[in-house]
Structure 1
Amino acid sequence: MPGQDAESRKRGRIEKRGNSLRVRVYAGDDPVTGRRVYRNETVRGTDRAAEKRAQKVLTRLLAEVNAQRAPTSAVTLSYVLAEWLRTAELEDTTRRTYVGYIDRTIVPAIGDVAADRMTARTLERLYGELRRCRVRCDGRPFVEHRSADAEHDCGKAKCRPHVCRPMAASTVRQIHSIISAALSAALRWEWIASNPARVAQRPRQKAPEPDPPSAVDAARLLDAAFEMDDDWGTLVWLVMTTGIRRGEVCALRWRHVDLDGETIEIRRAYTLHKGVGVEKDTKTHQMRRIALDSETVALLREHRARVQARLAELGGPFSEQTYVFTSVRAPDHSKPYSPHAVSSRYKDMAERLGIDTHLHALRHYSATELLSAGVDLRTVAGRLGHGGGGATTLRVYAAWVAASDRKAAELLGSRLPKRQQTTE
């Protein structure tokens, strides 16, 4: 076509195809497949005006390629997800969770879509389907009993009808986070020109509804725990007064407890996967130090003495590496208490008392009691191990923060001098 210089003809050209012109620009080799990648755009018409428009398109495409704004790979989302998992730094438990979502939900639904063809509409349509039915049944009554036999009649075979179960909004948000992270990596690697997940709408996050036990129920729970045994009572007391997570209390070792300094350090968490326990970083990957009150220090001193006496009877050594809490199955304190066992034992105890609660509610109790007493938000966030400088704490315990703010206002008002009443 006229108007093209030698360099333009080498990297791009304008071709006549029927009643239109096709602009074709070489954009480099695909870094994954090694194939040549082209940017194509069609201009309607073949007259002189169409040629001028095509020339402008050619100039624009060449500029985009030069500026590396054009995608250089046509790999599928499945490939992007796999490569992202290979490079992402994730905790083992987090990685297993992500792989489960990818294999069960994301890849079967949109894994074959080219990454550079992914749109916000594609993602929002997937999220809508999942919020209606987690298996995306599309209204098919026997989706769970599909047969390879095309002549199979679920009605005659009396297959159990499928019942739609919507996926939780929080789970869909997690799936969105996985897709967004993978596409962000593809954007960094210059496989795509933009990340559609950044603008796609995801389900709204449900407002947290913490339900801590009342002060009366908390006292009953403590009394029942100490009646069961002193070790268990000390564990429940520590969780109630510090708000630490169950995995953190299970991973606690005596080297983390400074009785003279009246503090404990939260450095690790203990978790189970298919019955196998492993220690890992805390949820926020940060160590924190929590101050202890004198009563808690006294209880921990008594507990330490019991552990030392117990190990002496067994003929085993006591060391700073010894776990603070353990179950009766490990009297030598060589293994931590199972998080599941702690939750189960606490739940059984609460049910015997007729209290509808769970172990994590003690964390809520600690937070709400501190906020209600007027302790500042940042201090409470630090004790709980919340990230974001208190943003998470504020979001979860907004009602108690508001009540604390009202209490602060009344306190300040009571300290100000009273206005003199004037009479006319």
Structure 2
Amino acid sequence: MANVENRGNGSYRLTVILGYDEKGTPIRERKTVKAKNMKEAKKLLTLFEAEILTGEYFKAEDKMTLNNFFPQWLEKHAKDTLSPDTLQNYISILQKRILPKYGHFKLEDIKTIHVVNFINDLKKNGQRLDGKDGKLSASSVLNCYKAFNNVLSCAYRWKLIKENPAIGAKPPNGKAKKSEVYSKEELSQLMQLLDDKPLFWKTLILLAISTGAREGEIAGLEWKHVDFEKGTIRIEQAITEIKGKGVQIKGTKTGKERTVSVPEKLLEMLKKMELTSRQDKWKVRDLWEWPDHFFIFGNEFGKPIRPDSIGQWWRRFTKKNDFKHIRFHDLRHTSATLLINEGVHAKVISERLGHADISTTMNIYGHVLEEADKTAASHFELFFKKMN
């Protein structure tokens, strides 16, 4: 049941009865609107009733600002659904970039144009927060959009807004620059440079190249993950560093576990490392910091290496030896590219890298596969020439 009451001066009160309580008292939902006449007011009443029946109507007291919604998003959604690294990144973006601009907005007042303007402003000069010159990278702009979209998407699912305004804003292209990789000749030079380096770092670098594992996954490897008889390493977890909490264990990036075969030479190096590690653990005994874990690349007290320290060591190493520098993560791309050029099937490479599916591998390394395919065709060309 619904009715309209003329309040005078073009003001009308719309009333919709939702039902009755245990005492028989009507449960009403009211809304005051402006209309030219009763006919227009009744049209507004029909829309009002429809909003209530479809769950799209929000009471004034239910409407909240983005600032007020942020802690609810954080506690009831983000902490349970986002990885530690992504969560930390989104919180930083929201607190430093989004809330200062839009925090005072009511959720329902945030429109698509606001998200569009937000993205557009990020593409301009002067948006870096580290004080350096230049523009934000495309991937950084995309991450900012993703953070904004995540919050608004959550508000939409909880029926606090009628639609997610971020959907209408075209996400920026976050494609990274083409990765650099080492050639076979450069890998040979690298092996020579590593020859006299500590076993710890020599093993870590060779493991990165041969398995294509990510920094966090390497840091998360434990001795229980190594099967010396089968010559394999099980990659099932990673180490991440959370601000204020230190290093913690998490799952792999895609949530997939995988078993990777490794070269015999690397197994020999790992055996030497294990012997030293067990001796260190026996020496410190009760001072062992992670009693339930035994990390391959931990310190003398069992604490796992921080993923970022791996990249830092790598940069110092290449600079000191005047060797071509690529990101440590690009050793992963080097591993994949080398296997592709050696004719290894894309499915096998996808499994070794721990991609969610083979399409990810094809998207990332499609250009390399195309070049390898052309090389394969050239072999047939030589074969056909011999037939003449």
Normalised by the shorter chain, which TM-score bucket? Answer: 0.7 to 0.9
What displacement does 1:263 show? Answer: 1.3
Q: 2:316 aligns with which of 348, 354, 360?
A: 348
Q: What SS is found at the alignment partner of 2:248?
A: strand
Please state if 1:406 is matched with 2:378. no
What displacement does 1:23 show? Answer: 7.2
Q: Give structure 2 stretches of 5+ with no counterpart.
A: 19-27
Question: Counterpart of 1:279?
Answer: 249
Question: How far apart in 1 are the matches of 2:45 and 2:313?
Answer: 71
Identity of matched residues, %: 25
Q: Give structure 1 stretches of 5+ with no counterpart.
A: 1-6, 29-35, 137-161
Question: Counterpart of 1:81?
Answer: 70
1:293-317 Cα deviation digits (max 9, x unpaired) = 33333333343345456667x4869
Alpha-carbon spacing, 1:167–1:231, altered in 2? closer, same or farther (3 Å)? closer
Alignment of 1:134-153 (within 5 A): none
Question: Counterpart of 1:217?
Answer: 186
What displacement does 1:79 show? Answer: 2.1
Question: How far apart in 1 are the matches of 2:203 and 2:133?
Answer: 45
Alignment root-mean-square deviation, CA: 3.5
Alignment of 1:245-264 (within 5 A): 245-264=214-233
268-277 vs 80-89, which moves further: 268-277
Q: 2:203 aligns with which of 224, 234, 241?
A: 234
Kept after mapping to 1: 8 A contact 2:311/2:327: yes
Rg: which structure is higher?
1
What displacement does 1:13 show? Answer: 4.5
Question: How far apart in 2 are the matches of 1:69 and 1:409?
Answer: 60
1:104-137 Cα deviation digits (max 9, x unpaired) = 111111111111122111111122122225559x
Please state if 1:296 is matched with 2:283. no
Question: Counterpart of 2:100?
Answer: 108
Question: Counterpart of 1:130?
Answer: 122
Alignment of 1:310-329 (within 5 A): 314=283, 321-326=293-298
Question: How far apart in 2 are the matches of 1:404 and 1:27?
Answer: 70
Give the TM-score of the pair, scaled to structure 1.
0.75
Kept after mapping to 2: 8 A contact 1:265/1:289: yes
Question: How far apart in 2 are the matches of 1:315 and 1:383?
Answer: 36
Question: Counterpart of 2:361?
Answer: 393
Please state if 1:63 is matched with 2:33. no
Question: Counterpart of 1:269?
Answer: 238
Residue 252 of structure 2 aligns with an amino acid whose one-letter code is T
What displacement does 1:382 show? Answer: 2.0
Question: Counterpart of 1:359?
Answer: 328
Alignment of 1:163-178 (within 5 A): 166-178=135-147
Kept after mapping to 1: 8 A contact 2:6/2:13: yes
Question: Counterpart of 1:334?
Answer: 302
Question: How far apart in 2 are the matches of 1:223 and 1:27?
Answer: 82
Question: How far apart in 1 are the matches of 2:167 and 2:183?
Answer: 42
Alpha-carbon spacing, 1:172–1:340, altered in 2? closer, same or farther (3 Å)? closer
Residue 267 of structure 2 aligns with an amino acid whose one-letter code is V
Question: Counterpart of 2:2?
Answer: 8
Alpha-carbon spacing, 1:14–1:193, altered in 2? closer, same or farther (3 Å)? farther
Question: How far apart in 2 are the matches of 1:40 and 1:392?
Answer: 53
Alpha-carbon spacing, 1:380–1:345, altered in 2? closer, same or farther (3 Å)? same
What displacement does 1:180 show? Answer: 1.6
Question: Counterpart of 1:158?
Answer: none
Kept after mapping to 2: 8 A contact 1:234/1:299: yes
Give the TM-score of the pair, scaled to structure 2.
0.81
Question: How far apart in 2 are the matches of 1:352 and 1:394?
Answer: 35
Alpha-carbon spacing, 1:358–1:171, altered in 2? closer, same or farther (3 Å)? closer
Kept after mapping to 1: 8 A contact 2:138/2:174: yes
Question: How far apart in 2 are the matches of 1:220 and 1:27?
Answer: 80
Residue 106 of structure 2 aligns with an amino acid whose one-letter code is A
Alpha-carbon spacing, 1:357–1:62, altered in 2? closer, same or farther (3 Å)? same
Kept after mapping to 2: 8 A contact 1:377/1:390: yes
Question: How far apart in 2 are the matches of 1:42 and 1:76?
Answer: 25
Q: What SS is found at the alignment partner of 2:99?
A: helix
